[in-house]
Amino acid sequence: MYAVTPGEAPYADEPHGGLPGGTRGDLRGVGGGAVRPIARGGLVACVSDVPLDQFGEEPLRRHLEDLDWVEGVARAHHAVVETLAAAEPTAPVRLVTVYTGDDQVRNLLDRRHDDFAEILARVAGRREWGVKAYLRRETARPAATPSEERSAPSPARAPAEPEGGGPGAAYLRRRKESLRGREDLWRAAAERAEELHAALGRLAVASRRHRPQDPRLSGRSESMLLNGAYLVDPAREEEFAAVVAAHSDRFLDAEITGPWAPYSFTMIDLGSDRDGGVR
């Protein structure tokens, strides 16, 4: 199963096969299977059939250790969700959510009807945007703030650095200054990232802060200080983008991604539905 959308029972003679919003009937999902609707109580679950020799409990456990296989499944799942979300409010379900029959899917729609309906109402007409902010690597040590300047000892009272000690002592002094500079930069950039997240949260309908990504996933060597998701009304998207741009400065490199289907604001934990057959 890929997602749940609002809708009524489809009719066999509908040219789009009863998929939400007139989505084309030849939409294909994981393994090339045709995506089809299962309707219940004003909701439509969009599903496709998969072979049990790959998606049964034991084979699936083995396949999930194959990163190439997982990537292919994830791309197919994402493509279906993005197509559906372009047509109707859409609540994606977790990757490789597998049920053993249509009746189990209908039972799920009965049991979790109110949860799905609430989520779909929240995301209707809105889009998810991602914002990532990184420590700007080439930034020099930040200047002292006014409060820091006031608290610093005057030159007359500051302890004198020893002039002797040879090359070893000079190296240690330089090393200490370098470490202090990096700590100051990190602190200033982290504060700036917090300010950015708060400002975007005031513009968004809802916000989520995800864990920073590993450089192998982000594709960047700089430290990620913010990995946020924001559900935004279209009327505020230009203002939202302007805030992101305004926070890219000598401390922070901020970038915006999207729009996406609202993954961060629609997921329902189906793990407790033991009688539903979910894997």
Answer yes or no: is pLDDT of 276 > 70.
no
Give, as one character, the DSSP assignment of residue 32: G
Between CA 102 and CA 87 the distance in angstroms is 23
Q: Which two tokens stand for residue 187?
A: 């602190």
> What residue ranges in the chain does DSSP mark as E strands?
3-6, 36-40, 43-47, 91-92, 127-135, 206-209, 224-232, 252-260
Between CA 99 and CA 82 the distance in angstroms is 22
Residue 52 confidence (pLDDT): 87
For residue 251, what pLDDT band results from cuts at 50, 70 and 90?
Answer: confident
**For 96-110, 153-167, 233-247, which range has the lowest pLDDT when averaged over its residues?**
153-167
- Tell me: the pLDDT tens digits for 31-72? 888 999 999 999 999 999 998 888 888 888 898 888 889 999
Give the mean model confidence (pLDDT) for residues 136-148: 50
Classify residue 178 as exposed, middle or buried by CB count within 10 Å of its CB (0-12, 13-18, 19+). exposed
The residue length of the chain stands at 279
**For 117-126, 160-169, 225-234, 256-265, which range has the lowest pLDDT when averaged over its residues?**
160-169
Tokens 């700590």 — which residue? Answer: 183
User: How many CA atoms are closer than 13 Å to the CA of 252, on its beta-carbon side?
Assistant: 26
